[in-house]
């Protein structure tokens, strides 16, 4: 894709929508039962013991419900870090989620099954060691990291916290697995942002390179754009090394920006996941929908040609489930690029406006605000995404459906969103990240 192609016009949106519909009709993804978890080699039981670090989060909670519905034994750890830090920037989830206790009780009432839960911080080695030893997981899904790029750029304190917490949590986990569950699959959430926006195609983790007449198959160079994204790069390096040392089976997921409010399991079990829309914790498409609903301008930063991979929450859960149920070989380190399609933020803003305007008499307004980040605003972008498709991933929600659902769901919480108006417009700037103060 050339730079000028990044501005997705109406016809591409239409083609994407039509192609998606056809794919959906043809493939209509049916989750297959695990074909046998080779980590559980002593039994033919296809169900797994899955430990989710960060179970209270946007992805952690719906993933727990989905895995539970698929018959797996699910347990989780969380220290409510996101709840606490979101409150600190005077924000809150746009959709109320209740306490962990009330969530767990409700799921028990709905399903008759329990999700195990430990309140704790994975940057404390004892918490990770005790949980791994006690639960003896077949798979650990590690989502318990500080996940906001703007948060990591507020200042030195937040940058330090992000780098320390994220890297130490992952380090604790690989040591705990080596000592107590060496055959467990580590499914770790990284980010497409690790690659940056190079002027060549982005492979899935590794690429063939020839230099001075010699060839090798090497990790693709990383070029992240925030302390947060760099923390994930450092994690990936540490995971590759732990894998080399102790043969821990790792899936390092390079995930794009996730959007949406719904998954099948959330709907069946009448539960909700958090949805952040403020300038620090909210992400692009969710924010654009919230801005339209709040009557605020939709804010593509700068020229808006920044192009990223996106996927719906439902697809994110589907992909993580596929990865968990199809573990790597013993000793394998593999990288999955995880997104449905890629779009420029300007195209997404236009699409949110188009969909919002169809159902409302006051049209949404788009305002290209000065970019608070340091990033390219027009660039080549062509990441590969083959491995998950080969394992059966088929997008289940189109972009248009996702946007309509977010707008509908947010409208039910309009009053709550209006209360967050002051924290929606961007304030955290990369250049002015605070030092010692």
Q: Considering beta carbons, is residue 62 or 309 the nearer one to ligand USQ? A: 309
Shortest Å, Cβ 210 to ligand USQ: 29
d(CA 174, CA 172): 6
* Residues 91-110, interacting with ligand USQ (CB under 6 A): none
By CB under 6 A, residue 395 contacts ligand USQ: no
Residues pairing with 78 in the sheet: 119
Q: If DSSP codes are grouped into helix, strand and coil, which group holds residue 130?
A: helix
For the segment 150-209, give every residue that binds ligand USQ (CB under 6 A).
191-193
Q: Which residue number, 94 or 149, has a Cβ lying nearer to ligand USQ?
A: 149
Quick one: the chain helix, strand, coil %, rounded to 5? 40, 15, 40
Q: What is the DSSP string of 240-306?
A: HHHHHHH--EEEEEEE-EEE-S--HHHHHTT-------STTT--HHHHHHHHHHHTPPB--BTTS--
Query: Among candidates 104, 125, 123, 124, which has minimal Cα distance to 114?
Result: 104
* Contact between residue 19 and residue 11 where contact means Cβ atoms under 8 Å apart: no
Residue 397 lies near ligand USQ (rule: CB under 6 A)? no
- List the x/- string, 308-347, binding to ligand USQ by CB under 6 A: xx-----------------------------------x--
The rounded distance, in Å, linking the Cα atoms of 200 and 182 is 37
Residue count, binding to ligand USQ (CB under 6 A): 21
Binding ligand USQ (rule: CB under 6 A), the pick from 139, 186, 242, 284 is 284
Residues forming beta bridges with residue 206, ordered by sequence position: 219
CB of residue 135 vs ligand USQ: minimum separation in angstroms?
A: 26
Question: Nearest approach, Cβ of 189 to ligand USQ (angstroms)?
Answer: 8
- The verdict on 256 binding ligand USQ (CB under 6 A) reads yes
Binding part of the chain for ligand USQ, among 58-66, 234-242, 251-259, 401-409 by CB under 6 A, reads 251-259
Positions in the binding site for ligand USQ (CB under 6 A): 147-149, 191-193, 255-257, 283-284, 287, 299-301, 306, 308-309, 345, 373, 375
Residues that are catalytic: 191, 228, 232
């Amino acid at each position: 894709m050339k730079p000028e192609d990044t501005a997705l016009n109406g016809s591409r949106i239409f083609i994407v929508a039509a192609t998606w519909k056809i794919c959906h009709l043809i493939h209509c993804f049916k989750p297959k039962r695990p074909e046998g978890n080779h980590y559980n080699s002593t039994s033919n039981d296809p169900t797994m013991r899955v430990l989710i670090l960060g179970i209270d989060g946007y992805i952690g909670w719906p993933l727990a419900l989905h895995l539970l519905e698929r018959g797996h034994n699910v347990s989780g750890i969380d220290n409510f870090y996101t709840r606490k830090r979101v409150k600190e920037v005077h924000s809150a989830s746009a959709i109320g989620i209740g306490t962990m206790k009330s969530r767990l009780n409700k799921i028990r009432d709905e399903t008759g099954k329990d999700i195990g839960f430990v309140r704790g911080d994975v940057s404390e080695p004892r918490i990770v060691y005790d949980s791994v030893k006690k639960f003896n997981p077949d798979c650990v899904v590690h989502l318990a990291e500080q996940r906001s790029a703007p948060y990591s750029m507020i200042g030195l304190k937040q940058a330090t916290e992000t780098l320390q917490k994220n890297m130490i949590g992952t380090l604790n986990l690989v040591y705990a697995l080596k000592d107590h569950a060496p055959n467990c699959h580590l499914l770790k959430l990284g980010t497409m942002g690790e690659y940056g926006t190079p002027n060549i195609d982005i492979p899935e983790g590794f690429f063939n390179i020839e230099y001075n007449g010699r060839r090798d198959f090497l990790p693709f160079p990383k070029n992240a754009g925030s302390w947060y994204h760099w923390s994930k790069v450092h994690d990936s390096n540490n995971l590759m090394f732990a894998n080399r040392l102790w043969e821990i089976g790792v899936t390092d997921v390079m995930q794009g920006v996730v959007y949406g409010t719904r998954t099948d399991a959330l709907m069946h079990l009448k539960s909700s996941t958090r949805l952040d829309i403020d300038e620090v914790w909210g992400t692009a498409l969710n924010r654009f929908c919230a801005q339209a609903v709040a009557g605020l301008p939709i804010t593509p930063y700068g020229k808006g040609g920044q192009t990223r991979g996106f996927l719906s929450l439902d697809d994110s859960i589907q992909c993580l489930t596929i990865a968990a149920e199809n573990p790597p070989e013993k000793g394998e380190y593999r990288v999955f690029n995880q997104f449905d399609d890629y779009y420029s933020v300007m195209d997404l803003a236009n699409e949110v406006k188009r969909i919002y305007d169809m159902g409302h008499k006051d049209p949404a307004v788009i305002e290209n605000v000065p970019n608070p980040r340091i990033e390219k605003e027009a660039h080549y972008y062509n990441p590969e995404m083959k491995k998950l498709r080969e394992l059966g991933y088929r997008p289940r929600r189109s972009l248009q459906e996702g946007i309509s659902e977010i707008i509908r769901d947010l409208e039910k919480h309009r009053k709550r969103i209006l209360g967050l108006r002051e924290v929606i417009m961007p304030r955290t700037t990369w250049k002015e990240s605070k030092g010692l103060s």
